[in-house]
Amino acid sequence: MSKPYEPIHIYCASCGAPASFDIAGQVYRCSYCGGVTGIQEPLQEKQGFRRAHQARLQEKRREYPLLSAQCTGCGAQVVFPEGEALTGCAFCGRSLVRKEYLGVESFPEVLIPFKVTEDQARANLLAWCDQNRGKGEAREIRQHIDELRGFYLPYELVKGPVSCAVSRQESKTYRCRGFCDGSFVNTSKQLDNLLLDGMEPYDLTSVKEFDFSYLAGQRVKIRDTDEKATAARVGKEIAAHYRPFAAKVMETKGVEVTADTGNMVALGAVLPAYYLRAGNTLAAVNGQTGKVAVRERKDRYLMPWWIKPILGSILFPALVYGAMKLFGAAQEHCLLVAGALAIFLLFVLFTAYHNEYGGLGRQSLPRRIFTSDDSRTMVSPPEFYMPIDGRERAVALKFTTPLRVLRMVLLGLGTVFLPLILGFLFNGCSVHGLTIGGAAVWMCIAVPLAPVFLIKYGRLELYEHPLIYYRTDEGRRKRYRASKRSWKEELKDVLDTVKVFVFSPLVLVILFLLIVLIVNTVLVVHWDAF
Ligand SMILES: [Zn+2]
Ligand SMILES: [Zn+2]
């Protein structure tokens, strides 16, 4: 091995060349000697590196006299070389207690050195303020710009294979796997995670083994999340990386992703950043790239859930009323139909929205993070896996294809117009002499129920039974069919769904109201005719 040891690389166990990960085989493969390195070996190898590194640092520490200051408010601890001036806490504004730094706890294993000077960082932040003149955040930052301070902030650098459990509401769980080629997770209790994410990415190619010489003229914030909290943060952050991919496959933003990060290699890291607390605004500038991130100063709230159903029950009947008026319908008929529709929609939408969001109370949204550019940490897409024929295979999942949706809609239409279709067939495929009257009762029931069924049962059907494709050993793309369920199980499913909807008191009430209204309309129309 001619090149120096890079702690962020994963090396081949047999020849020492950098190895890359094979997701399907779940091992590292060496492109140089073809050797295979297990998932566990790099974990042990990094443990060894960590011990040697800490021993080297303890040895060297005497050459670098360090001081420490701890905040009386937020507890943030900062370490800096002797002779550095330090005023109040940069993270909360309260006062600091100085003491000699005796810390024997571990120093970080790697770091990225500062590249952006304090003047440049200030200029970048002011440039952001110029571009966002209208925002209150820009005003607050200008007032406090002199308080911008540089810190090496504590992170955990993780790299390695990730396995995620992915599910959407009320549906089964799928597994996907990927390889994360290096991601930084912040390990500061006091700092806003989203803000720090906003100033990423950092360029991993300039990661260096940590050494005290980098601290000259700089301050280091000491990590203060314990092992358990750190692991939880890593899991959350990695899951967040994969959520967009999972959301695309599962066709919903409401996708649940839990990441298993147990096989990832982790290194303690410090990253260069400038940090500013300006009133209610928080700002950070990436000390390597100069990217600016600013956190919104006020909370925002989600619209209460009941606004949409009410708006829907007013707007849609109003449209119908307008349309009927336009075609010259009598005033009382327009009112009657619009009124009936409004009552029906109010019930249906209220129930639907209440089931979904009713219990949630007033929901605040995470504060927005404004950034000076859109660059973000790149993650290669994961692959979905399923056990097929006794082996884990990569699969492609398809839920709502146009053909499947069309089938669902045709099924719905078929149900609604069933009596007419049957009549048409029995009538020798002729419309001659058919009257719509006989089908009215059926339609009264089918028309309001069909959309409910389509939404609930149709959607469930689409999402519970996706089309699954995989590659055979010969490399052909093949549709996978799960073992066929018996007709009894299918029937039970259908009956369960019918039971829930037909026998729910709400649907019965709506049906009753609709029938009363329709009978009324018919009577009124007939009465008018006399
Ligand atoms: Zn090798
Ligand atoms: Zn503080």
Rounded CA-CA distance 158/269 in Å is 10
Arithmetic mean of pLDDT, 509-526:
63
Q: Which ligand ends up closest to the CA of 93?
A: 2
**pLDDT at site 508:** 64
Is residue 3 predicted with pLDDT exceeding 60?
yes
> Cβ neighbours of residue 21 under 8 Å, at least 6 residues apart?
10, 27, 28, 29, 160, 161, 179
Q: How far is the CA of 89 from the centre of ligand 2 (A)?
A: 5
Is residue 428 predicted with pLDDT exceeding 60?
yes
**pLDDT at site 522:** 59
Residues 278-328 have pLDDT tens digits of 989 999 999 999 999 999 998 877 777 788 888 888 988 898 888 888 887
Is residue 527 predicted with pLDDT exceeding 60?
no
**pLDDT at site 435:** 60
Arithmetic mean of pLDDT, 378-404:
85
**pLDDT at site 1:** 43
Is residue 362 predicted with pLDDT exceeding 70?
no
User: pLDDT higher for 386 or 455?
Assistant: 386
Q: How far is the CA of 71 from the centre of ligand 2 (A)?
A: 5
CA dist 354 → 107, 307, 348 (Å): 51, 11, 10
User: pLDDT higher for 492 or 233?
Assistant: 233
Q: How far is the CA of 61 from the centre of ligand 2 (A)?
A: 26
Q: How far is the CA of 182 from the centre of ligand 1 (A)?
A: 21
Residues 122-156 have pLDDT tens digits of 999 999 999 999 999 999 999 999 999 999 999 99
Is residue 105 predicted with pLDDT exceeding 80?
no
Q: How far is the CA of 520 from the centre of ligand 1 (A)?
A: 84
Q: How far is the CA of 471 from the centre of ligand 1 (A)?
A: 29
Residues 76-87 have pLDDT tens digits of 888 888 777 777
Residues 410-425 have pLDDT tens digits of 877 777 777 777 777 7
Residues 491-512 have pLDDT tens digits of 776 676 666 555 555 566 666 7
Q: How far is the CA of 481 from the centre of ligand 2 (A)?
A: 58
Q: Could you tell me what percent of the chain has a pLDDT over 70? A: 82
Residues 146-185 have pLDDT tens digits of 999 999 999 999 999 999 999 887 678 899 999 998 999 9
Q: Could you tell me what percent of the chain has a pLDDT over 90? A: 30
Q: Which ligand ends up closest to the CA of 11?
A: 1
Q: How far is the CA of 238 from the centre of ligand 2 (A)?
A: 28
Is residue 530 predicted with pLDDT exceeding 50?
no
Contact 209, 7 (CB under 8 A): yes
Q: How far is the CA of 34 from the centre of ligand 1 (A)?
A: 6
Is residue 466 predicted with pLDDT exceeding 70?
yes
Q: How far is the CA of 28 from the centre of ligand 1 (A)?
A: 10
Q: Please compute, for residue 279, the number of CA atoms within 13 A of its CA located in the half-sphere on the CB side.
A: 14
Q: Which ligand ends up closest to the CA of 78?
A: 2
Q: How far is the CA of 238 from the centre of ligand 1 (A)?
A: 28
Q: How far is the CA of 77 from the centre of ligand 2 (A)?
A: 8
Q: How far is the CA of 200 from the centre of ligand 2 (A)?
A: 23
**pLDDT at site 521:** 61
**pLDDT at site 360:** 62
Q: How far is the CA of 294 from the centre of ligand 1 (A)?
A: 45
- The angle, 0 to 180 degrees and rounded to 10, between the axes of the packed helices 331-357 and 505-529 is 170
Using pLDDT thresholds of 50, 70 and 90, give the confidence band for residue 342.
confident
Q: Which ligand ends up closest to the CA of 1?
A: 1
Q: Which ligand ends up closest to the CA of 35?
A: 1
Q: How far is the CA of 342 from the centre of ligand 2 (A)?
A: 55
Using pLDDT thresholds of 50, 70 and 90, give the confidence band for residue 463.
confident
| Prediction pTM value | 0.75
Rounded CA-CA distance 31/11 in Å is 11
Q: How far is the CA of 118 from the centre of ligand 2 (A)?
A: 21
Q: Which ligand ends up closest to the CA of 31?
A: 1
Q: How far is the CA of 95 from the centre of ligand 1 (A)?
A: 54
Residues 246-266 have pLDDT tens digits of 989 988 777 889 999 999 999
User: pLDDT higher for 308 or 101?
Assistant: 308
Q: How far is the CA of 36 from the centre of ligand 1 (A)?
A: 8
Q: Which residues are placed with Cβ below 5 angstroms of ligand 1, an ion?
A: 12, 14-15, 17, 30, 32-33, 35
Q: Which ligand ends up closest to the CA of 36?
A: 1
Q: Please compute, for residue 84, the number of CA atoms within 13 A of its CA located in the half-sphere on the CB side.
A: 24
Question: Considering only 98-112, 208-222, 501-515, which range has the smallest mean pLDDT?
Answer: 501-515
Contact 337, 400 (CB under 8 A): no
Question: Considering only 273-287, 340-354, 391-405, which range has the smallest mean pLDDT?
Answer: 340-354
Q: How far is the CA of 39 from the centre of ligand 1 (A)?
A: 15
Q: Which ligand ends up closest to the CA of 16?
A: 1
Residues 5-32 have pLDDT tens digits of 788 889 998 898 989 999 888 899 998 9
Residue 479: count of CB within 10 angstroms of its CB? 9
Strands (E), 18-81: 19-22, 27-30, 36-37, 66-71, 77-81
Arithmetic mean of pLDDT, 230-256:
89
